Amino acid sequence: MELSKNFDHQAAESKWYQHWLDKRYFNSKPDSREPYTVVIPPPNVTGVLHMGHCLNNTIQDILVRRARMQGKNACWVPGTDHASIATEAKVVQMLRERGIAKSSLSRDEFLKYAWEWKDKYGGIILQQLKKMGCSLDWDRTTFTMDPDYYQSVINVFIDLYNKGFIYRAKRMINWDVKAKTALSDEEVIRKETLQKLYHLRYAIEGTDKFVTIATVRPETIMGDTAICVHPDDERYKELHGKFAIVPLVNRRIPIITDEYVTMDFGTGALKVTPAHDMNDNQLGQKHNLEVVDILNDDGTLSADAQILVGEDRFAARKKIIPMLEEAGALVKTEDYTSEVGYSERNPDVVVEPKLSLQWWIEMKKIYSPALKAVMEEEIKFFPPKFKNLYRHWMENIKDWCISRQLWWGQQIPAWYTADGSFAVAATQEKAWEELKKTQPDLKMTDIKQDEDCLDTWFSSWLWPFEVFKGYSHPGNEDIKYYYPTNTLVTAPEIIFFWVARMIMAGFEYKQEKPFSEVYFTGIVRDKQGRKMSKQLGNSPDLLALIDQYGADAVRFGIMIASPAGNDLMWDESSNEQGINFIKKFWNALKLVKMWEGRQQKDLDNGKANFAVSWMENRLSQVKQQLDQQFKDFRLSESLKTIYSLIWDDFCSWYLEWVKPGFEQPIDADVYEKTVSFFEELMQILHPYMPFVTEEIYHTLREQKDDLTVKLLETGITPDNKILQTAVLLQEVITSLRDARNKAQLKPKETVKLHILTEQADLYASIETILAKQVNAEAVSYTSTPVNNTITVVVQKDKFFIETTTELDITAQREQLQKDLDYLKGFLLSVEKKLSNEKFVANAKPEVVDVERKKKADAEDKIKVIEESLREFSANGRE
RNA sequence: GGGACGUUAGCUCAGUUGGUUUAGAGCACUACUUUGACAGAGUAGGGGUCACUGGUUCGAGUCCAGUACGUCCCA
């Protein structure tokens, strides 16, 4: 078969992915095998693939493919979440393009359009994951608004409400004034923003004195209900218990004290606006302050502001400054940079802290099993540093605002009567029956369901069990078999919003952890260390990258740069490293295929035996290393291990050792072994680079199976003696080549090699390889130095290279001298240690022994080199 | 302001309970090598007072304290 010059990734990708699908390799059903279950962190249904997904899903695919090859029943469940805000924004945009205003639609009409959008554009990202080669069980694709899933979310709400864990209250939330909805904390993006810090003075009641505060939000002074100073602040002690007058509106507010105030920030006096600042609100609660809400839902000033009513908050800020100046209240203005929250979905919109009537979960009632499970490592975090972060958050847990003023999502199952009383129930009828108990005359049509829907995270926290219908159909075969799942791979950014809550839901509804391990990936950054984001435009087009470099090279590129648990600085050039790697072993494939037709039985005269048995041992050794690395989630490191095994051990050493001369035949057994090694190498690399490895596996020879499902076999127990001999052989080859190089011998020029050693029998097993690798026409053993040769010392053995070329002695001598200097320096440091009585007395005996051995070795080597140098001088004089 | 994590070669990182050769890898760099799998290659080479300052110890990249810088989280 004619082999193409290069690997054709496009042809291979479509061919093999379809083949795997046709064979249903990724589909899983419960059976007697051990399950290995992974649920995908569901991307937004509006999402498109970016580098973060690429990293995250490559890691999951590696874990899943490896588990599958280890004979486990691997099940990786795909799906998306409905992403209330993001999707609603997309739908509104679609409607706008068609000239339809959302406000002109009923809820049902709007939802019809939303489903239309979802069916047409949603889940593009799942198709993109196929391009990456992800081995997901597509039959299990789940959406957080699937009928059963939807009902489970509703039932969980009702259950939590009935348990008394859910309540409705007016509290501070993040408010998106454009979308007019509450936001969760993670939907708020903090950005460093240049602002002005205004110093304003408030008159002290009953005196002619003033107190000056600093604020970036002068338009909210009408909502001030106190001024707060630090109790120990000497400057303000005389103000304790007094009252101040808010400029322009002349409200009388108390001056309170609290240690919350930072004395050296601003003026040390803080205006307190409980309706418009999270911290101020807490202060307000603590000190029982009045709450004056001066903003409308759309961010304009309300009637309670008394002035500038109807103006947008930012227009009001501009307008109030001259007013304050005129009133003599503005003391000074300075530049100030601080973090301001913006809405994730409306990036230009500054989020408004706002008092609002919302639904909350009282987290203190459900968090404790989730904390315990992680602390006691029933659920293990990788890297473990995230345990601390998790504990800190859990121990300071705040109630969770779960209502959103949106239509796209699970509608809150609460029904209200005209007087505002309500009932939580699965259906309107049940709610009506409940409410009738206190209001006997109530008609069913008199009650109205809550307009709001639930936070998307309130559905995705059920993900690990509800993808198997573990709540909607408890006790089914799937949930019994697959739950708890094994590994969750996710970004540390959502440790609280998703990971922690899934653990809580798992214990609350399955009485069991949702997963055993959580692997937190790093954040993908660009070369300059900036986080990849749409706004910066530094996020590459992944599909274009896959098109250009191939999925395997892209997967390699991101994994090689991805240290466990750290952020990764991603650079497009890492894809080139992937391409080069593929080319390297594709060329090896070409070499091996060249030998296919040149096999000859019983040809081997012992030359290749060592190479074959070394490669076998080396492979087993690496397999053991890989097992450990996978246990520790050191995936980048294990890829490096495989990379080096293929490039250095297999291509650079092994293939050179067994390579027959130009157009010469190869021993049939050696060829057979070589093909098997190649297959095994492709097999261990397969989880990282599935396409090219499958392609090569089938090109090497006719196969009955596919690599994707081929079981990994445990190798033999590595023989250390053979491994050590190979290390010696490599060291000798390198040193001799170096010597040849320095003596400027041409590669084609043959030499005669004389070896002075006490382990001649060891060299007998490797001398053919050695001779070939250093281009020696003859190898002999000697007990005395050979004159007029290049001398090389490796460990305790000496090598004399006899050549017909005139030798440049100075270069050799310099090299020997350099080695000698190093060894003497080294010896000195060892001797210093050994002559230290305290060291010999205190250190462990085996450590002292090691030092003694180091000393002896160094002395031996020095002796050998000094001899050589002496011979040199002797020869030089001749 | 509170907390977490980090700082090792030009770049990205290893360095597992303190002692296996006066610190390792990949990439990049330099020199040499092109009819023989591979120049997107081969062979070899140069490159680090392990951020800084103290401390513990016979011994510190490794442990402790502080300083500087950086990143992230929370407020």
pLDDT, residue A489, reads 93
| Strand B proximal to A190 Cβ, under 7 A | yes
A808 closest CA partner among A878, A740, A738, A735: A740
CA of A189 to C1' of B52 (A): 35
Task: Say which DSSP state A303 is in.
Answer: G
Q: Which residues of chain A (335-354) touch nucleic strand B at CB < 7 A?
A: 338-339
Residue A117 has pLDDT above 60, yes or no: yes
| Nucleotide closest in space to A279 (CA vs C1') | B75
pLDDT, residue A434, reads 92
Alpha carbon distance A877, A871 (integer Å): 10
- For A636-648, what is the mean pLDDT? 92
Residue A502 has pLDDT above 90, yes or no: yes
Band of residue A410 on the pLDDT scale cut at 50, 70, 90: very high
Asked if A463 and A42 touch (Cβ cutoff 8 Å), the reply is: yes
**Spans of all domains in chain A:** 181-353, 414-447, 542-718, 747-874
Mean pLDDT is lowest, of A85-99, A326-340, A474-488, A703-717, for A326-340
CA of A568 to C1' of B12 (A): 8
Q: Which tokens belong to A816?
A: 């020997």
Residue whose CA lies closest to nucleotide B73 C1': A389
Q: Which tokens belong to A61?
A: 């695919």
- For A813-822, what is the mean pLDDT? 78
| Strand B proximal to A567 Cβ, under 7 A | yes
Mean pLDDT is lowest, of A21-35, A311-325, A695-709, A806-820, for A806-820
How far are the Cα atoms of A167, A414, A493 from residue A424, in angstroms, in the given order? 11, 4, 33
Asked if A373 and A507 touch (Cβ cutoff 8 Å), the reply is: yes
CA of A567 to C1' of B71 (A): 10
Band of residue A369 on the pLDDT scale cut at 50, 70, 90: very high
| Strand B proximal to A399 Cβ, under 7 A | no
Percentage of residues in chain A having pLDDT higher than 90 = 49
- For A583-607, what is the mean pLDDT? 86
Residue whose CA lies closest to nucleotide B26 C1': A640
Instruction: Name residue A198's beta-bridge partners.
Output: A215, A333
Residue A346 has pLDDT above 70, yes or no: yes
Alpha carbon distance A278, A282 (integer Å): 7
A584 marked as binding residue: no
Residue A648 has pLDDT above 70, yes or no: yes
**Strands in A209-289 per DSSP E:** 210-215, 226-229, 243-245, 252-257, 269-272
Task: Say which DSSP state A842 is in.
Answer: H
Alpha carbon distance A694, A834 (integer Å): 56
| Strand B proximal to A724 Cβ, under 7 A | no
Alpha carbon distance A523, A323 (integer Å): 47
Query: Which option is the CATH number for A542-718: 1.10.3290.10, 3.40.640.10, 1.10.730.10, 3.30.565.10?
Result: 1.10.730.10
**What CATH fold (topology level) applies to the domain A181-353?**
Isoleucyl-tRNA Synthetase; domain 2 (3.90.740)
Residue A700 has pLDDT above 60, yes or no: yes
Tell me which amino acid residue A20 is: W
| Strand B proximal to A566 Cβ, under 7 A | yes
- For A416-432, what is the mean pLDDT? 93
Q: Which residues of chain A (536-565) touch nucleic strand B at CB < 7 A?
A: 560-561, 563-564
Measured to protein CB atoms, the chain B nucleotides within 7 Å are 1, 3-6, 11-14, 19-22, 25-27, 33, 36-38, 40-45, 57-59, 71-75
Residue with tokens 């707060």: A228
Residue A836: how many other CB atoms lie within 10 Å: 12
The three-point CA angle A557-A559-A560 to 5° equals 70
pLDDT, residue A878, reads 38
| Strand B proximal to A262 Cβ, under 7 A | yes
- For A132-152, what is the mean pLDDT? 97
Q: Which residues of chain A (837-856) touch nucleic strand B at CB < 7 A?
A: 838-839, 842-844, 847, 850, 854
Residue with tokens 């002349």: A250
Give residue-wise pLDDT tens across range A831-843.
888 888 788 888 8
Q: Which residues of chain A (199-218) touch nucleic strand B at CB < 7 A?
A: none
- For A495-522, what is the mean pLDDT? 93
CA of A832 to C1' of B56 (A): 21
A372 versus A747: the higher-pLDDT residue is A372
- For A127-151, what is the mean pLDDT? 96
Q: Which tokens belong to A582?
A: 């593929």
Alpha carbon distance A809, A816 (integer Å): 11
- A555, burial (CB in 10 Å: exposed 0-12, middle 13-18, buried 19+): buried
pLDDT, residue A877, reads 42
pLDDT, residue A632, reads 86
- For A652-671, what is the mean pLDDT? 89
Alpha carbon distance A74, A35 (integer Å): 6
Alpha carbon distance A121, A138 (integer Å): 18
pLDDT, residue A536, reads 67
pLDDT, residue A716, reads 85
Alpha carbon distance A830, A853 (integer Å): 10
Residue A525 has pLDDT above 60, yes or no: yes
Asked if A398 and A428 touch (Cβ cutoff 8 Å), the reply is: no
| Strand B proximal to A569 Cβ, under 7 A | yes
Q: Do domains A181-353 and A542-718 have the same CATH topology?
A: no
Give residue-wise pLDDT tens across range A151-170.
999 999 999 999 999 999 88
| Cis geometry, peptide bond prior to residue A464 (ω within 30 degrees of 0) | no
| Nucleotide closest in space to A632 (CA vs C1') | B16
Residues in Cβ contact with A546 at an 8 Å cutoff, skipping those fewer than 6 apart: A131, A132, A554
pLDDT, residue A607, reads 58
Residue A548 has pLDDT above 50, yes or no: yes
- For A466-480, what is the mean pLDDT? 97
| Nucleotide closest in space to A730 (CA vs C1') | B43
Asked if A211 and A240 touch (Cβ cutoff 8 Å), the reply is: no
- For A671-698, what is the mean pLDDT? 96
pLDDT, residue A789, reads 82
